[in-house]
Amino acid sequence: MTKSDLLFDVASGVAVVTLNRPDAMNALTLLMIHALTEQLRDWAKDDSISAVVVRGGEGRAFCAGGDIRALYDAREEVRGLTETFFCAEYRLDHLVYHYPKPYVALMDGIVMGGGVGISLHGSHRVVCEKTMFAMPETGIGLFPDVGASYFLPRLSGELGMFLGLTGHRLRAADCVYAGIGDYFIPMGRHDDIVAVLRDGGDIATTLAGLSEVAGVPPLRDQRDWIDRCFGAGSVLEIWSALNKEECEDAKDALTALRTKSPLGCMITHRQLRSGAAMDFDACMKMEFRISQQVMAGHDFFEGVRALIIDKDNKPEWRPGVLSDVTPDMVARFFAPPSQGDLTFDTN
């Protein structure tokens, strides 16, 4: 990490974090995660700080995720990083979820993976015309994490299962419709948000006053087939239900599913169904269990190779088809890791 990867600015009791790795779409490195965690903890204890605002810097992303290239390289080069990274990232997400002060996330660009963890769990989520939200992890042999086990099942109907399995991308209007964003405020007014808050403005009043109508959400007209198909009892049943639909959007969803890791999809289905009945902390512990098994397996590294390293877009998943994924294969991803479950620093 360089000193410019994260920028911290405090004035009039309002602290602003700017993610500043535009060439990497503000992807979070382990050092960035440690630095942000330490700073947020300091501000939480500082009575002079009344609120925190997190935003992206220049470029097209708020934060496009974690540094998965480093995780890929860690399989051969840095033993222990795959454990350390997920521990640190999930503890940061836990801190954001439980943050004792208002936490305003300006989701000003691409929001994926790790970027979801440091935005969606905040107390106030602002989307804009540049926002593009997705949880595309099944496409690289991973699973929707950073607290997705908690928030995806709590979206309306079966939207969470649809988003988690397909990696479907949402723009601002759909984010507001789905409950992922609280306010739509054009990016040109984001500096005004900070200025008004530093001038003593009330957060809720300020955000509501600057908020505009996000537009018509395309998701609204797709809810019938999404809820019908993605409410099925298994991934195979979801595929079967989508096969019976005539609309192009459902066909596109099935096409997307065919490119995903079969094992990743089966893990995700169980993960999201389980998370619906769990509290946030339990969801994070479950995700840590899954993450450690994934890092010890094949599909994640093969997915990163195919989509990011070699870019041939031809991952060879193991197993290669859904019907070959057994319940026992899935169950082992939910077992406690040998090093023990994730713990949280509550100080």
Cα angle 79, 329, 291; round to 5: 35
pLDDT band at 2 (very low <50, low <70, confident <90, very high): low
Active-site residue flag, 23: no
Longest dimension (CA), the chain: 60
Contact 160, 153 (CB under 8 A): yes
Instruction: Indicate the Cα dihedral angle 74, 80, 86, 89, nearest 10°.
Output: -90
For the chain, which residues make up each domain, given as ranges?
Answer: 6-334
Quote the DSSP letter at residue 23: G
Helix (H, G, I), strand (E, B) or coil at 312: coil
* Backbone phi and psi for residue 53, each to the nearest 5 degrees, phi listed first: -120, 130
Which CATH number among 3.90.226.10, 3.40.50.720, 1.25.40.10, 3.40.1640.10 corresponds to the domain 6-334?
3.90.226.10
Per annotation, catalytic residue among 67, 145, 182, 299: 145
Contact 100, 80 (CB under 8 A): no
Q: Could you tell me what percentage of the chain is helix, strand and coil, using 3-state DSSP and rounding each to the nearest 5?
A: 50, 10, 35
> Residue 97 belongs to what H/E stretch?
helix 81-97
Residues 6+ apart with CB under 8 A from 106: 53, 54, 55, 56, 62, 126, 128, 190, 193
Predicted confidence at residue 58, as pLDDT, reads: 85
Active-site residue flag, 215: no
Looking up tokens 């993450």 gives: 291
Taking the complete model, does pTM exceed 0.85, yes or no?
yes
Per annotation, catalytic residue among 114, 117, 181, 303: 114
**219-260, pLDDT tens digit by residue?**
999 999 999 999 999 999 999 999 999 999 999 999 999 999
Active-site residue flag, 345: no
Per annotation, catalytic residue among 5, 93, 137, 182: 137
> Residue 184 belongs to what H/E stretch?
strand 183-184
Sign for the CA dihedral angle at 265, 267, 156, 224 comes to positive
**47-103, pLDDT tens digit by residue?**
999 999 999 988 899 999 988 888 888 876 555 788 899 999 999 999 999 999 999
Per annotation, catalytic residue among 66, 264, 275, 303: 66
End-to-end CA distance of the chain: 26
Predicted confidence at residue 67, as pLDDT, reads: 85
**259-294, pLDDT tens digit by residue?**
999 999 999 999 999 999 999 999 999 999 999 999
Active-site residue flag, 114: yes
